[in-house]
Structure 1
């Protein structure tokens, strides 16, 4: 089996990617109420509700659910039919999830003395809690999980670092990337990246993706992924050209604009339509994003990646 591509990246590059992603997430991210709590019961409810349900629909249902049954003990005392009825009324998917959540609340109350376990393995003892949900609750409630790997995370890792389409490879790469002691923010951040910037149709520049400097897809314009089998129509786009600039500077270190141009477009001509003026504007955009620096010399302009 192929090794995850991250195994071939120097640790300095991985550290830069870690810092960039966490800074991007902490500066601004979508606001969901379950991101504002570390209560394991509230986190578990959000995870169960979010299974195959759009997050925009989950928000109101989650708030109403927590208002009606604010603790695991309250849910355990509830009539199971009422819980299932709530689930049905809010179109939250399979009713078995409501039954399992009700039973898990009973287990916490009666078998765990009202205290949620904090380890992923122990959380899996709760009814309906599999490895993914257990790890998510451990991460978001206790900052004590491994890297979460869902469809969004796989898409990001496949595109950014060329991780092979293998569950084992994705898990290995995700855990290598995650900084020690940061599972709460890290897992939220990488899922946010997949949901906001690196969706099936990517929004790299619009969302200010913090991984553009390292991303193979951004450099090549190939945004296929395990859940995106056909290449989106980005051939010749500005996004693709920006990616080629970063890829060329990563490979060559620093380049004068006229040496960089042909590596970005084969039809580059210094005084042409796609020439020095066009390239300077492209590189200045990257400089404004903090990805590239420009140095004016006596007879030329030199570009390099910003460190």
Structure 2
């Protein structure tokens, strides 16, 4: 255990930053959702995707994004377009808030006039309609020069994983402290993927192979509330869920030693720990009483 957590986040616990970083990036690079804007570092294409994505479902954005770039493939093409055509495209694709189309068209003109895209978050905010979040996203994904992204998904992940208080300054401090220096592109993609795939409002910790289960406060306690999830899910982390995992593991392994079974049920299982043999035997006792499993001193199996 090394490195104190950020004092700005009002936390005193310690953890291994490098292990946390490596686990997340490795998880992301091994398998992640494919979106066309993740396959480019063209700032124009990334800006288009970011403006389209504001409060719009990604499934609808992807189709509109491809068609928009077929119509206006470069920033110069968009700057030269008739604004009414751009707004008409926006309306036809139900992207909402037509002002975004106007702002994007104006921003394209600014980029052409200045001879290229600005590269830092502060400079990108000089473009019309580009606020701090969008500026940071373009800087991160186009130029690898951004700060940590802090959106609703990221706040949820940090709150659950590290028990960060629901405070904007704390979230900013934690997010920036965790992000490896000079790696905003891969890091911000990875942490947002974590929030979108594994740590949504209804968490999918084991199903998605969440790489932070080892350190996660919510996974350890079963409390998956978050700033945007005011009520705790009834099933995730519950005893009922753990019983289901026991049965599932025994179906696959027929008869298993208790410690082998424990590790299949919880990633943080430790024979003498809080989630150890005593905890596991409690689950097995319930299942044995229900006539579902057979247990001896060292092994368990499904009752046939």
1:138 aligns with 2:139: yes
Q: Is the 2:268–2:275 contact (alpha carbons within 8 Å) kept by the matching residues of 1? A: no
Q: CA deviation at 1:67?
A: 1.1
Match of 1:67 among 56, 65, 70: 70
| RMSD of Structure 2 on Structure 1 (CA) | 3.0
Unmatched tracts of structure 2, length 5 or more: 1-6, 247-261
Aligned to 1:4: 9
> 1:90 Cα deviation (Å)?
0.4
Q: Is the Cα–Cα contact under 8 Å of residues 261 and 268 in structure 1 kept in the other structure?
A: no
Offset at residue 261 of structure 1 (A): 2.4
In 2, Cα distance between equivalents of 1:278 and 1:17: 36
| CA–CA separation in structure 1 for the residues paired with 2:86 and 2:203 | 38
Is 2:269–2:275's contact at 8 Å kept on the other side of the alignment?
A: no
Measure, in 1, the Cα distance between the counterparts of 2:86 and 2:274.
Answer: 67
Partner residue, 2:161:
160
Question: CA separation in 2, counterparts of 1:271 and 1:86?
Answer: 59
Q: Which residue of 1 aligns with 2:40?
A: 37
Shift of 1:260: 2.1
Match status 1:104 vs 2:90: no
Taking the TM superposition and a 5 Å limit, the aligned residue runs for 1:233-272 are: 233-234=234-235, 235-236=238-239, 237-238=241-242, 249=270, 255-256=271-272, 260-263=276-279
Number of matched pairs: 272
**Aligned-partner SS, 1:8:** coil
Contact 1:6–1:173 (8 Å) recurs in 2 = no
Matched, 1:22 2:38: no
What secondary structure, in the 3-state scheme, does the structure 1 residue paired with 2:276 have?
helix
2:178 maps to what in 1?
177
Structure 2 length-normalised TM: 0.81
Q: CA contact under 8 A between 2:263 and 2:269: conserved in structure 1?
A: no
Structure 1 residues without counterparts, runs of 5 or longer = 250-254, 282-307
Cα offset, 1:262, TM superposition: 2.6
Matched, 1:81 2:97: no
Question: CA–CA distance in 2 between the matches of 1:116 and 1:278?
Answer: 68
Task: Sort the Cα spacing of 1:279 and 1:145 in 2 relative to 1 into closer, same or farther, 3 A.
Answer: farther
Does the Cα contact within 8 Å between 1:262 and 1:268 map onto a contact in 2?
no
Structure 2 Cα separation of the partners of residues 65 and 104 of structure 1: 16
After TM superposition, give the deviation of residue 8 of structure 1 in Å.
2.5
